[in-house]
Amino acid sequence: MALHIHPSILAADFANLERELQRIGEADLVHVDVMDNHFVPNLTLGLPVVERLAEVSPLPLDLHLMIDDPDRWAPDYAAAGAASVTFHAEAARDAVATARAIRARGVRAGLALKPASSADQWLPLLDEFDLLLVMTVEPGFGGQEFMAETMPKLAQLADAAAREGRDLRLQVDGGISPRTIGIAAENGANSFVAGSSIFGSADPGATIRELRDAAQR
């Protein structure tokens, strides 16, 4: 599986999102963090903004739903023009049904796990998902420190996917920088979300290249 770099627009200028999208042309997808101030103690944007972003973004959208009741909302986000919709295992009532509803709209379905959430119960269900997101910080805010203690869970998922011959996207999100991306890649990640390290850079394109190089080393 090729490596994918996903800048997170959580760290972008929210008053100029269309312009910010032009700064990350070297990336593969753009990561959009949807927060509802219930599942996480922060609030960002919702469906109408995602629909417009899908219309103006040169890159496909990778949605990360940090919301309660994803069973209700994920299908609408899938229909909004995203390439992938990832929701949290901790918030879903029926994660398999929700993933199927996303896939039924021709969109990749992702399951996210908070740092303390075990992967064990999902190992027999990997076929139901296209992407597994191992959170490497507590969801809710950008600019936090990478949690290396999540790496055994990532390796566990990578091993399980390899055993089954699954071409799963294994994503990490939180604290990813040229310094930390190598550790995540070594443990099996192939999809990397980075907010502050990319949008905080004077040259986001150069940082995206640096991240790619560091992940491949």
Residues that bind ligand DX5 (CB under 6 A): 8, 10-11, 31, 33, 64, 137, 139-144, 173-176, 193-197
Question: Is residue 131 a contact partner of residue 111, using CB atoms and an 8 Å limit?
Answer: yes
Instruction: Report residue 99: phi and psi, to 5°.
Output: -60, -40
* Residue 173 interacting with Zn ion (CB under 5 A): yes
Q: Based on the number of CB atoms within 10 Å of its own CB, is 163 exposed (0-12), middle (13-18) or buried (19 or more)?
A: exposed
* Residue 62 interacting with Zn ion (CB under 5 A): no
Give how far the C-alpha of residue 91 lies from the chain's centroid of Cα atoms, to the nearest Å: 16
Does the active-site annotation cover 28? no
Question: Is residue 180 a contact partner of residue 187, using CB atoms and an 8 Å limit?
Answer: no
Does the active-site annotation cover 173? yes
Question: Is residue 177 a contact partner of residue 207, using CB atoms and an 8 Å limit?
Answer: no
* Residue 64 interacting with Zn ion (CB under 5 A): yes
Task: Tell whether 175 is in a known binding site.
Answer: yes
Residue 175 interacting entry, from Zn ion, ligand DX5, none, C-beta within 5 to 8 Å by type: ligand DX5
Task: Tell whether 64 is in a known binding site.
Answer: yes
Q: Least distance from C-beta 141 to ligand DX5, angstroms?
A: 6
Task: Tell whether 142 is in a known binding site.
Answer: yes
Binding residues for substrate: 8, 64, 140-143, 173-175, 195-196
Q: Which residues are catalytic?
A: 33, 173
